[in-house]
A and B are shown apart, each in its own frame.
Chain A
Amino acid sequence: QSVLTQPPSVSAAPGQKITISCSGSSSNIGNNYVSWYQQLPGTAPKLLIYDNNKRPSGIPDRFSGSKSGTSATLGITGLQTGDEADYYCGTWDSSLSDVVFGGGTKLTVL
């Protein structure tokens, strides 16, 4: 069981917008920065969002991150077939002294 809870899957049509939730607690999301990763099939994870809502250089503004209380959300607009991937949230857990990840969400672009 992952410390952070994500929906197993989401789906939407090309051009649409989706959000992926990541639920935690005060020891992790509530008091630490959240990051989001995209993992295309057979490849290494790629950082999309760090420090809750910052995008690394080269990440399009179609990807956004937000945090409220003990939950975080990844948003993707203008969905493309190339966005089909697994998405993971991650953060530091102060009680566990551990970097923790969500179980991952599989995005299908229909």
Chain B
Amino acid sequence: QVQLQESGPGLVKPSETLSLTCAVSGYSISSGYYWGWIRQPPGKGLEWIGSIYHSGSTYYNPSLKSRVTISVDAPKNQFSLKLSSVTAADTAVYYCARTVGGATDAFDIWGQGTMVTVSS
């Protein structure tokens, strides 16, 4: 079955760039669907960060757009998130997920999530 696994540093210093990767198994990213990142600050709700298609077409949360880059590496069957100039407000569990179809569709398969803390 399709599985997603996030990886990356659990601690990032303020003003630096947060970098995460989502490895996909059981399905080829190049076969379709949009793939996205969603985050959840401790004790709070869900926030969409952005989504990408295997062709590289991207959609970003307008409030984060200036700091976010999502890219795809089809040969490695993975996609990545970079969030620049982080602050404590970016501390959250970061999830990668697959949509049911289009860029704005529901997310049907999720990774387990990875906690990222922004602190000096």
Contacts and interface: CB of A to CB of B under 8 A. Distances in A.
**Bound pair (A, B):** yes
Interface of A: 2, 32-33, 35, 37, 43-47, 50-51, 56, 88, 90, 92, 96-104
Contacts of A2: 45
Top 4 nearest A-B pairs by Cβ distance?
A35-B106, A99-B48, A92-B104, A50-B106
B61 A98 contact: yes
A12 B80 CA distance: 41
A101 B112 contact: no
A98 B106 contact: no
Nearest to A45: B110
Contacts of A88: 45-46
A99 B113 contact: no
A47 B2 CA distance: 14
| Interface of B, helix, strand, loop or mixed by DSSP | loop
Contacts of A100: 48
Contacts of A33: 105-106
Interface in B33-82: 36, 38, 45-48, 51, 59, 61-63
A45 to B, nearest CB: 6
Nearest to A88: B46
B46 A98 contact: no
Interface of B: 36, 38, 45-48, 51, 59, 61-63, 95, 100, 104-108, 110-113
Contacts of A35: 105-107
A46 to B, nearest CB: 7
A96 B64 CA distance: 12
Given A2-B45, A33-B106, A97-B62, 13 more contacts: A35-B105, A37-B46, A44-B113, A47-B106, A47-B108, A50-B100, A50-B105, A50-B106, A92-B104, A99-B104, A100-B48, A101-B48, A102-B45
Given A32-B104, A92-B104, A96-B62, A101 B110 contact: no
Given A96-B62, A101-B46, A46 B104 contact: no
